Structure 1
Amino acid sequence: MRLIPFAYLASYLLSLLGNSIAGVALPLIVLQVTGSALGAGAVAAATAVPAVLAGLLMGVVIDRINRRTSSVLTDLVSAAAVAALPLIDMLSGLSLGWFILFGIVGSLGDVPGMTARDALLPAIVRHSGLASERLVGIRESLGAVALLLGPAAAGTLMVLFEGSTVLWITAATSLAAALLTLLIPHHVGDIVVTAEGEATAAGSGWVQLRLGWRVLLRSRFLIVTTALSVVSVIVLASLQGLILPVYFTRLEQPGMLGFVLTALAAGMLVGGTIYAIAGARGRRRAWFLAGVFGSALGFVLIAALSSEWVVFGGAFVVGLSSGLFASLMGVLMIERVPEQMRGRIMGTQNAILTAAPAFGILTAAVLTEYAGVNVAAIALVSVGLIALGLSVFAPSLRNLEPESAEAGTGGAAVIHSA
């Protein structure tokens, strides 16, 4: 594999792996330091809003500077925010306030970092010589690997090291991700702007932000795919975050939840690998329908809550279908999102998807409290099935083949950004 795609994919894997480890280890460290579950919840709540705002607002910056540079800077922000915690622990000791402060700082790098990598992807495809289907499929497979390895690595590290020492490891993964991204030549991150894009490039940051939102809201394709992704994330988060923990707790087998997440990640790995190998063959509509109907089947199997083995099977099917669907959507985003607006549009999408899980878990909690876990599972999955069903008949998703004149290819000029 050539250097450019290798550096991009390795950086992507390390960044996600670090986030996956921190997602498990950090709440445990907060609990160890504060002795309060409320404290862990306070850290999560305090960082959620800045993460969403950063995703919404930083897209303008990502659209104005070199995409490789923005990716490196966001990884460095994440690394510094995490590394500050064990450093302060050595110097003066940690408290809840420190966790909240650097949680907020770190959130300013997380969603923008995700957006920066998404915005850089079309350039990686152009300079790598790989088909977009293969590159995106490999990327989704690596995301599944991070999801598989992260929790296990976090548990092992928490046993081997004391307290906040584990966070040096997660900071190192973000730093390594930034260094790997530096292996990508600087010119690869230059922004390609069409003649039409040059005409709309002027104006303040707020004007540019509104322009990006206007493009997003006027595109039926982007509206439908964003809404479908949000609903799917809400349903999946409600199942993972509340319904299944309650279900397995009632079975007196809470440890089984980990196997469900493993089955989900394994399915995503298989789905991404299949798409990387065969995604360029056949019609995209067939891949889309496979992802939609597979997700529907998996959600139904999970919502039935008939046995733990059926739940495991449903999780694997959902993961497999998600791997196919996410890979296809990644390819379509490369082709259909204007190059000069990728930061703003994908930053908005990532911000919404970051906020969606909390809404899903809250809804599931209310339904479970007042109607029971089975009703909550059926109700939320029904919403997901309706969204999936509507997407099958959406006019904007009927023709998914490459367009004759893709966005961002006509009359292109390259902006050499800092």
Structure 2
Amino acid sequence: MPLSAVAYLASFFLSLLGNAVAAVALPLIVLQTTGSALSAGVVAASTAIPAVLAGLFMGVVVDRINRRTSSVATDLVSAAAVAALPVVDAVSGLTLGWFVLVGVIGSLGDVPGMTAREALLPAVVRHSGVAAERLVGLREALGAVALLVGPAMAGTLMTVLEGATVLWITAATSLLAAALTLLVPRSAGVIVPDDDHPHPTSGGARSVRRELRDGLRALTGSAFLVAVTVLGAAAVLVLTGFQALVLPVYFTFADRGHLLGFVLSALAIGALVGGAAYAIVGSRLPRAGLLAATLGGTTVGFALLATLAAPWVVFLGAFMVGAASGLLNGLLAVLLIERIPETLRGRVLGAQNAAVTVAPPVGILVAAVVTEYVGVEAAALLLASIWAVAALATVAARPLRTLGPTRGDGEVKVDA
């Protein structure tokens, strides 16, 4: 495999691994430092809005500069933000205010970093000559490995290292991810405009607003992109509701809290299998049939989770959700490569990622309210029903009935 593809995949893996470690370690460090569970919630909530805004407005930046440059820059921002915490801890000691401040700064690198790396993917496909299905499938498989290894790695590091020192590891992964991305030739990251979608030019606030409006118009004006965005947000909402609330409550009430980790492992292993399968056979499978099969598989998987029956049933449901999602995410990523114009990619993906960023707290809140006032079984059933509705709506959507390759801009149009 060409060096540019290997570098991209390695960078993606390290960045996601660092995020997975930080997702477990940071709340624990906040709790250890402040002694307050509310403080951990405040830190998480304070970064939500900045993350959404950063995802939207940084899409404009991603569309103005070299794709490789934007990916490297966002990784460096993430590395600096995380590294600031152990530095402050050593110099003056950490307080809630520091956690919030650094969290807000870090949000300028996290969601934009996701957007920049996704925007770079088509350039890597073109430059490396590796089939999009293979590259995307390998990326999904590596993402599953990172999510499988990251939490265990965080738990081990928290027992070996002291407090915020763990965050040096996550900062190092982001820094190394940036260094690996530099192995992708700069020429590969050059934005290639076409006649219908010229390259955006630099300018003041008015130009930024116009470019942001163009990106949002491209997203909302495309029935295909709307359907994919809603489907992605629904998937994150439902999965987060199960992972962060329904399953922990279920296993805790059943006095089997130690089994929760096995559910998350089953989910990650399933995603690894699904991503690997897409890398191997994705290009040979009929797209419409694959879409229907993966939506059906995730629906059955969520239904099994919602039964909250014997642990093995829950494990099987988690594996099915992971495997079907690995295939589905690979397919959707390839479709987005083909259907989003190059010069609009950062803004469209930024808006999509902003929507997905909002979904997790909504899923947790919905599940928490229903669990509190009705019961955990009702919350599980509601989440599974939300996904079933989203899956059925996707299958019925006209833009997703014809999924053959396009010349690159699909049905996405922006008025001049």
TM range (shorter): over 0.9
State how far apart, in whole Å, the 2-side matches of 1:328 and 1:251 are.
Answer: 38
2:216 pairs, out of 201, 208, 213, with 213
> Match of 1:406?
408
CA distances 1:325-362 after superposition (whole Å, capped 9, x unpaired): 00000100000011100100000000110110100100
**SS of match in other structure, 1:194:** coil
> Match of 1:129?
129
Q: 1:42-191 counterparts in 2 under 5 A?
A: 42-191=42-191
State how far apart, in whole Å, the 2-side matches of 1:282 and 1:188 are.
Answer: 29
State how far apart, in whole Å, the 2-side matches of 1:348 and 1:361 are.
Answer: 21
State how far apart, in whole Å, the 2-side matches of 1:23 and 1:232 are.
Answer: 19
The code of the aligned residue for 2:339 comes to R
The code of the aligned residue for 2:248 comes to P
> Match of 1:339?
342
2:389 aligned with 1:394: no
Q: Alignment identity in percent?
A: 61
2:307 pairs, out of 304, 307, 314, with 304
> Match of 1:230?
233
State how far apart, in whole Å, the 1-side matches of 2:190 and 2:159 are.
Answer: 44
TM-score w.r.t. structure 1 length? 0.96
TM-score w.r.t. structure 2 length? 0.96
The code of the aligned residue for 1:163 comes to G
Give the deviation of 1:198 after TM superposition: 1.8
> Match of 2:284?
281
Gaps of at least 5 residues in structure 2 are 411-416
The code of the aligned residue for 2:164 comes to S
Going from structure 1 to structure 2, the CA distance change for 1:334 and 1:190 (only over 3 Å counts) comes to same
The code of the aligned residue for 1:158 comes to M
State how far apart, in whole Å, the 2-side matches of 1:18 and 1:179 are.
Answer: 14
Q: Is the 8 A contact 2:63 2:200 kept in 1?
A: no
> Match of 2:414?
none
Give the deviation of 1:201 after TM superposition: 5.8
Give the deviation of 1:387 after TM superposition: 1.2
> Match of 2:260?
257
State how far apart, in whole Å, the 1-side matches of 2:120 and 2:400 are.
Answer: 25
The code of the aligned residue for 1:30 comes to V
CA distances 1:270-327 after superposition (whole Å, capped 9, x unpaired): 0000000000103111211121000011010000111111011000000000000000
Q: Is the 8 A contact 2:47 2:103 kept in 1?
A: yes
Q: 1:375-390 counterparts in 2 under 5 A?
A: 375-390=378-393
State how far apart, in whole Å, the 1-side matches of 2:288 and 2:230 are.
Answer: 18
> Match of 2:363?
360
Matched residue pairs, number?
407
Going from structure 1 to structure 2, the CA distance change for 1:200 and 1:47 (only over 3 Å counts) comes to closer
CA distances 1:191-241 after superposition (whole Å, capped 9, x unpaired): 011011128768701001001111111101001111111111111111111
State how far apart, in whole Å, the 2-side matches of 1:180 and 1:267 are.
Answer: 28
The code of the aligned residue for 1:49 comes to I
Give the deviation of 1:93 after TM superposition: 1.1
State how far apart, in whole Å, the 1-side matches of 2:285 and 2:166 are.
Answer: 46
State how far apart, in whole Å, the 1-side matches of 2:382 and 2:74 are.
Answer: 38
Give the deviation of 1:255 after TM superposition: 2.0
State how far apart, in whole Å, the 2-side matches of 1:191 and 1:295 are.
Answer: 36
State how far apart, in whole Å, the 2-side matches of 1:199 and 1:279 are.
Answer: 32
State how far apart, in whole Å, the 2-side matches of 1:313 and 1:154 are.
Answer: 26
The structure 1 segments of at least 4 consecutive aligned residues displaced by more than 4 Å after TM superposition are: 199-203
State how far apart, in whole Å, the 2-side matches of 1:197 and 1:380 are.
Answer: 39
Going from structure 1 to structure 2, the CA distance change for 1:19 and 1:380 (only over 3 Å counts) comes to same
Q: Is the 8 A contact 2:191 2:199 kept in 1?
A: no
State how far apart, in whole Å, the 1-side matches of 2:376 and 2:408 are.
Answer: 46
**SS of match in other structure, 1:402:** coil
State how far apart, in whole Å, the 2-side matches of 1:199 and 1:392 are.
Answer: 34
RMSD: 1.2
Q: Is the 8 A contact 1:27 1:40 kept in 2?
A: yes
2:184 aligned with 1:192: no
The code of the aligned residue for 1:77 comes to V
State how far apart, in whole Å, the 2-side matches of 1:146 and 1:157 are.
Answer: 15
Q: Is the 8 A contact 1:21 1:153 kept in 2?
A: yes
State how far apart, in whole Å, the 1-side matches of 2:315 and 2:18 are.
Answer: 26
Give the deviation of 1:406 after TM superposition: 2.6
Q: Is the 8 A contact 1:201 1:208 kept in 2?
A: no
Give the deviation of 1:183 after TM superposition: 1.1
State how far apart, in whole Å, the 1-side matches of 2:157 and 2:384 are.
Answer: 36
Give the deviation of 1:2 after TM superposition: 1.1
